[in-house]
Homo-oligomer: A and B are copies of this chain.
Amino acid sequence: MKVHKIAVLAGDGIGKEVMPEGIRAVDAAAKRFNIGIEWTSFEWPSCDYYLKHGKMMPDDWKEQLDGYDALFFGAVGWPDTVPDHVSLWGSLLKFRRQFDQYINLRPVRLLPGVPCPLANKQPGDIDMMIVRENTEGEYSSVGGRMFEGTDREFVLQEAIFTRTGVDRVLKFAFELAQKRPKKHLTSATKSNGISISMPYWDERVDAMGTSFPEVRHDKYHIDILAARFVLSPERFDVVVASNLFGDILSDLGPACAGTIGIAPSANLNPERSFPSLFEPVHGSAPDIYGQNIANPIAMIWCGAMMLDFLGYTEAHDAMVAAVERCLVDGPRTPDMGGTASTTEVGAAIAATI
């Protein structure tokens, strides 16, 4: 039996509370499907570590993590003590770039048992995959400030789109669309307002489209696309977007499907040259930390995506089925209208698996 080495990076806040439940569920699936998993916990990245060492991670973080098959990531951020752009650029965004996790993949599904904020939607009506570029684009620290402190002050902020970076995420998205029944891909753009990067993005979408004649593809400007997510989410299948637009859509999509509290995401290096990272969409949620009421479902769903990526599709499906059953039958944490604790929900799902 091959043993997969997984690095456990629980991070801050509720990351520390949901992580044990994620591990418990993966262990249950590993037992049932005979998968070898070896967990190793790290106290970094975290804001606690930052307070002690003045940085989010040790200098040799890359060497320390490079041998792992995957990074199981809770949440990072504690804005009261460390500003978000410090904690995140010092951890999550570093992983994405340095481990070349250029795909951020987020399934968005309206599931039975989850109250939907949209009127008249049934489970199954929302079922999409958001494929977000995860290493470049609008997320950049290139640029600067001039005439600082005077009335003429201004800042320049660069967005950077490379052909390599754009084409590889488009290829991944088209391949994914090709595999799905609807074979439909929507690209998010804003080429009518942002006049260099977005026309370029559109151009590359059209070029990639010629290699996937079976995939029907269209494009929407991000403003109207956001509106469409609310008005007619059923019309989307695979949605591909730049770093920023993907970030927005992958919070908006889960909100339309009920809650961002249960949404998982995978930061993938499809070539497996570096470890991929699996993290809930929710953050560290300082407001509810310490009460053992955080919903562990996103973390557990991340575990399922991790096993899928490691090649265990059946284990993935069993874990997702257990999550779906828990959403219908309970137990439920307070965010889902119940009174169960993080631990109770985690234990119930692990038992089902």
Residues in chain A within 8 A of chain B (CB atoms): 77, 84-85, 88-89, 93, 116-119, 138-145, 150-165, 190-200, 222-224, 226-228, 230-231, 243-244, 247-248, 250-252, 254-256, 259-260
17 contacts between A and B (CB under 8 A): A85-B192, A117-B118, A141-B195, A151-B163, A154-B161, A154-B163, A157-B159, A157-B194, A157-B198, A159-B159, A190-B247, A193-B247, A222-B247, A223-B247, A227-B251, A227-B254, A230-B230
B88:A193 contact, CB within 8 angstroms: yes
Q: How far is the CB of A10 from chain B (nearest CB, A)?
A: 19
Q: 3 tightest CB-CB pairs across the interface, nearest first?
A: A227-B255, A157-B197, A223-B251
Which of B85, B160, B162, B248 is the one whose CB lies under 8 Å from A248?
B248
A157 near B154 with CB under 8 A, answer: no
Could you say which of B159, B160, B196, B251 contacts A226, with CB atoms under 8 Å apart?
Answer: B251
Tell me the bound Cα distance from A247 to B139 in angstroms: 19
Cα A197 to Cα B138 with chains together (Å): 11
Q: Are B161 and A155 in contact (CB under 8 A)?
A: yes
Whether the pair B156, A193 counts as a contact (CB closer than 8 A) is no
Residue of B nearest to A148 (CB): B163
Determine the residue in chain B with the shortest Cβ distance to A253. Answer: B227
Q: Would B223 and A85 count as touching, CB distance under 8 A?
A: no
User: Smallest CB–CB gap between A150 and chain B, Å?
Assistant: 8
Q: Which residues from chain B contact A252 at a C-beta distance below 8 Å?
A: 223, 226-227, 230, 252
A117 to B118, CA, bound (A): 6
Instruction: Judge whether A85 and B199 touch: CB under 8 Å.
Output: yes
Chain B min CB distance to A330 (Å)? 21
Contacts of A77 on B, CB cut-off 8 Å? 192
Enumerate chain B residues within 8 angstroms of A243, measured Cβ to Cβ: 193
Select one of B194, B196, B256 contacting A156, CB under 8 A.
B196
Give min CB distance, A256 to chain B, whole Å: 6
Q: Which of A156, A191, A254 has the most CB of B within 10 A?
A: A156
A231 shortest CB reach to chain B, Å: 5
A259 to chain B: closest residue by CB? B231
Q: Which residues of B contact A251 (CB under 8 A)?
A: 223-224, 226-227
The docked-state distance in angstroms from the alpha carbon of A191 to that of B248 is 14
User: Which residues of chain B are within 8 angstroms of A199 by Cβ–Cβ distance?
Assistant: 85
